[in-house]
Amino acid sequence: MKIVVIGGTGLIGSKVVALLAEQGHDVVAASPASGVDTLTGAGVAAVLVGADVVVDVSNSPSFEDAPAWDFFTTATGNLLAAGQAAGVSHNVTLSVVGTDRLQASGYFRAKAAQERLVAESPVPFSIVRATQFFEFVGRMADSATDGDTVRLSSARCQPMAADDVAAAVARTAVGEPSRTIGEVAGPDRFPLDDLVRAELRARNDSRRVVTDAQAPYFGVVLDDHSLTPGPDAVLAATRYPNWLAANVAAAAF
Ligand SMILES: NC(=O)c1ccc[n+]([C@@H]2O[C@H](COP(=O)([O-])OP(=O)(O)OC[C@H]3O[C@@H](n4cnc5c(N)ncnc54)[C@H](OP(=O)(O)O)[C@@H]3O)[C@@H](O)[C@H]2O)c1
């Protein structure tokens, strides 16, 4: 099968490309660096010639409202139109668990618009919603930092390893289009503030995490259901303390 991975140089994309190549598929890692820009449309039609499956694990370079909206609507529209013209038989899109509950955030309004475009396109689709990546915990801390204080709520989250996200996406890419949204998540739930405390401690980062129920997460005040998956989510194996120990020398969870 020819499988084009849009965002194939990114965190998830590079892992998806490796997994599918190991399985013997004809995989193309597409991104602006390889001349494929879904936002402008440059190179998109050419890379999709002969493609059976398109995997979209690209991300907006900016999380700000307007550029994120522009990216996820324009780039997804371009990709779907080109996919339809090329006769692509499966479009796999990576999204975020809770996107529909996080609509106070411009980024998540853009992700919801992306999901709608995918679901309404004539190209058969599967949407994989994943929870927060372990690799993203540091960015969560940074986005909630003021001086040496990190202000976060204790709302529950159920993060997962990027390797497990990539495995779920790759599995989906070689299966039949589900024509629906499926969820994948990590094996354990943590209060968000404790998760970030553990990460900072493991990295010898001296910032102090203050628990604040009203502290916004990328613009959204959370409750225990905002970030957690439903009962049908497929749970991945990698546990956060083990991942942290393997990825950070001084890990202490
Ligand atoms: N972070 C989380 O915890 C989380 C959780 C669930 C789902 N997600 C979703 O996972 C997806 C992938 O995230 P990630 O962290 O793997 O992203 P990432 O590492 O930032 O990689 C983004 C990829 O998109 C490519 N890209 C950027 N602009 C492009 C354009 N105009 N045309 C084509 N490709 C373009 C980049 O190419 P260059 O390398 O050339 O810039 C890169 O390959 C996102 O859609 C995100 O919403 C994230």
Q: Alpha-carbon distance 28 to 194, whole Å?
A: 39
Q: Long-range contacts: 238-242, Cβ < 8 Å, 24+?
A: 238/134, 238/160, 238/161, 238/163, 238/164, 238/186, 238/187, 239/186, 239/187, 239/188, 240/134, 240/159, 240/186, 240/188, 240/190, 240/195, 240/198, 241/198
pTM of full prediction above 0.75 = yes
Q: Supply the pLDDT for residue 253.
A: 47
Could you tell me whether strands 208-211 and 149-152 are parallel, antiparallel, or unpaired per DSSP bridges?
A: parallel
Is 102 near ligand 1, meaning CB less than 6 Å away? no
Question: In angstroms, rounded to a whole number, what is the distance separating the alpha carbons of residues 248 and 253?
Answer: 11
Residue bearing the CA closest to ligand 1, atom 45: 59
Mention every residue, 6+ apart, whose C-beta is less than 8 A from residue 120: none
96 Cβ closer than 6 Å to some ligand 1 atom: yes
**Considering the chain, what is the average pLDDT of its residues?**
96
**What's the whole-number mean pLDDT along residues 135-148?**
96
Ligand 1 pocket check for 132: Cβ under 6 Å: yes
Express each pLDDT in 49-96 by its tens digit: 999 999 999 999 999 999 999 999 999 999 999 999 999 999 999 999
Residue 25 has pLDDT above 80, yes or no: yes
User: How far apart are the CA of 145 and the centre of ligand 1, in A?
Assistant: 23
Instruction: Please tell me the distance between residue 244's alpha carbon and the centre of ligand 1 in angstroms.
Output: 22
Kindly give the distance from the C-alpha atom of residue 70 to the centroid of ligand 1, in angstroms, as a whole number.
Answer: 14
- 118-132 tens-digit pLDDT: 999 999 999 999 999
The pLDDT value recorded for residue 249 is: 61
What's residue 248's pLDDT?
Answer: 82
Please indicate whether residue 78, judged by its CB atom, sits closer than 6 Å to ligand 1: no
Evaluate: CB of 136 within 6 angstroms of ligand 1.
yes
The 10 Å CB-count burial string (b at 16+, else e) for 97-108 is: bbbeebeebbbb
Ligand 1 touching residue 91 (CB < 6 A) = no
Q: Does the beta carbon of 195 sit less than 6 angstroms from any atom of ligand 1? A: no
